[in-house]
Amino acid sequence: MTTIRIMSYNLQGCKDSGAVFQLIDHYRADFVALQNIQDLPAGQSISALAAFTGLDIVSHGETRDLVLLSRYPVKMIQTYDLGYGAGCMKAELTVGDKRCQLYNLALHGGLYRRWIQIRRLLGPDLLSNAGLVYPTIVLGDFLDIVWMVGSLRFHKQMQRISPPPFKGTYPAYFPIFARDRAYAKDGIRLEASSIDRSDKARRASLHLPLIIDIVVVDNRIALTEKKMAKPASIRAVAG
């Protein structure tokens, strides 16, 4: 059984890049999903962060400045524009013989716009893709204050795994809103979940970092059950 640690961190309003670097390095996550990295102070860069933490820069998203840092192989990187400034990065993660798909998400705008963005997230290119056969994690900044706002269909399809209700990540100085969340489906088991509420985290950014430890159920079994069809009957042919 392999436990995978993933951190989701929104750098919106970053005021102390040194604290951000130290927090990411401290948790030694296997994958770090970042949002709004354009808010890093002048003179700091993702390259400097990667060098400080020993992580590889997998991809720099085209919308909402999404970045994925990794210690393990990552495949099939794609970035999607969800409209009105929102973005999503999809990546296939590999740790040992386990694979899963991760969606790094940053929504943007008002209630109506968020509904449109979630509808696109649920579209055939993303979560409703017929080729989506691996266990799936969706995490990042959902922007909303009330977690059910946006799409009942999304919450029926995905299981919220972190943070627990009433555990806020925003604003960092008085965190009462759980804007930063993680959802999963099809073979993801949560082992542990935490929000860093230290003084360092409170001064680093407007969002507190979310850290989850998960286990991926052996997706080869799931693939066998879903994709293997019954063999066609064999008939003798006269000849």
Instruction: List the domains of the chain with CATH numbers.
Output: 3-227 (3.60.10.10)
Among candidates 118, 172, 164, 167, which has minimal Cα distance to 142?
A: 118
Query: Given this model, what pLDDT does residue 76 score?
Result: 86
DSSP class of residue 216? E
Question: What pTM, to 2 d.p., does this model score?
Answer: 0.88
Query: Given this model, what pLDDT does residue 165 score?
Result: 79
Query: Given this model, what pLDDT does residue 55 score?
Result: 97
Query: Given this model, what pLDDT does residue 96 score?
Result: 87
Strands 31-35 and 3-10: parallel
Phi, psi of 39 (to 5 degrees): -85, 0
H helix runs in 86-198, sequence order: 111-121, 152-157
Contact status, residue 207 vs residue 10, Cβ threshold 8 Å: yes
Contact status, residue 36 vs residue 106, Cβ threshold 8 Å: yes
Mean pLDDT, contiguous 10-residue spans, the chain (239 residues): 94 96 98 95 91 90 84 91 93 91 91 85 88 88 68 84 91 94 94 97 97 84 44 39
